[in-house]
């Protein structure tokens, strides 16, 4: 047997083995995003020379590249004239905007509160908004409506389909 025939036979055997045992290529990729880190029962404080400005707490939190996702979330702000906090079942914190879902509850130090099923808090612009139904209460006063836009800095409120009861002192 010549050496050329031997190498052709070995090459044929290797090509046959490669065809038979061809590696499996998985075209399906796992595109689920993996968080950078996860926290359980946490509180994150933002501290300045005057003390604690803000804190963000939750039961379970995930930090992704561009956002935080938190369950049983509560964001409190002590850097304004009146202490305020807003909580919800689920929160998405992205680019200084907190999107809230499920049992949204806003409380301010002077007794003003509102509740809604969903909401959004734009922290740089001091705007709290909802697209659905809401209830605002303060002392014995109550206002119901839809599409709330509440400016916490200027203390102004606008809404649609408003009804309520207001007690004069």
105 inside domain: yes
Closest of 143, 75, 88, 81 to residue 109, by C-alpha: 81
Q: What is the pLDDT of residues 125-152, one digit of tens each?
A: 989 999 999 999 988 899 999 999 989 8
Within a domain: residue 72?
yes
| 164/6 Cα distance (integer angstroms) | 96
What is the token pair recorded at 3?
Answer: 């050496």
Structure tokens at 126: 């001091």
Q: Long-range CB contacts (< 8 A, 24+ apart) of 129-136? A: 130/104, 134/159, 136/112, 136/164
Domain that holds residue 140: 37-165
pLDDT of 169: 67
Cross-strand bridge partners of residue 73: 88
Q: Quick one: CA dihedral 86, 88, 93, 97, positive or negative? A: negative
Per the CB < 8 A criterion, the answer to whether 119 and 88 are in contact is: yes
Summarised one tens digit per residue, pLDDT across range 43-61 is 989 898 888 888 889 999 9
The residue to which tokens 């809404």 are assigned: 159
Q: What is the pLDDT of residue 31?
A: 67
Give the span between the Cα atoms of 43 and 6, in whole angstroms.
Answer: 73
pLDDT given for residue 1 in this prediction: 62
Total-model pTM: 0.74
Q: CATH no. for residue 92?
A: 2.60.450.10
Question: For residue 147, what are its two tokens?
Answer: 């599409």
Residue 13 lies in a domain: no
Residue 32 pLDDT greater than 80, yes or no: no
Query: How many folded domains does the chain comprise?
Result: 1
pLDDT of residue 7 exceeding 90, the answer is no
């Amino acid at each position: 047997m010549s050496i050329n025939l031997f190498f052709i036979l070995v090459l044929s055997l290797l090509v046959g083995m490669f065809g038979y045992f061809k590696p499996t290529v998985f075209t399906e990729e796992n595109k689920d995003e993996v968080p950078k880190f996860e926290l359980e029962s946490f509180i994150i404080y933002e501290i300045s020379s005057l003390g604690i400005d803000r804190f963000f707490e939750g039961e379970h939190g995930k930090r992704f590249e561009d956002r935080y996702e938190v369950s049983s979330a509560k964001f409190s702000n002590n850097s304004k004239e009146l202490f305020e906090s807003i909580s919800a079942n689920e929160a998405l914190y992205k680019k200084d905007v907190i999107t809230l879902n499920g049992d949204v509850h806003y409380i301010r130090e002077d007794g003003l509160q509102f509740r809604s099923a969903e909401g959004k808090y734009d922290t740089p612009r001091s705007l709290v908004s909802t697209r659905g139904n809401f209830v605002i209460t303060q002392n014995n006063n109550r206002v119901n409506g839809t599409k709330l836009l509440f400016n916490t800095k200027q203390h102004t409120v606008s809404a649609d389909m408003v009804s309520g009861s207001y007690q004069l002192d």
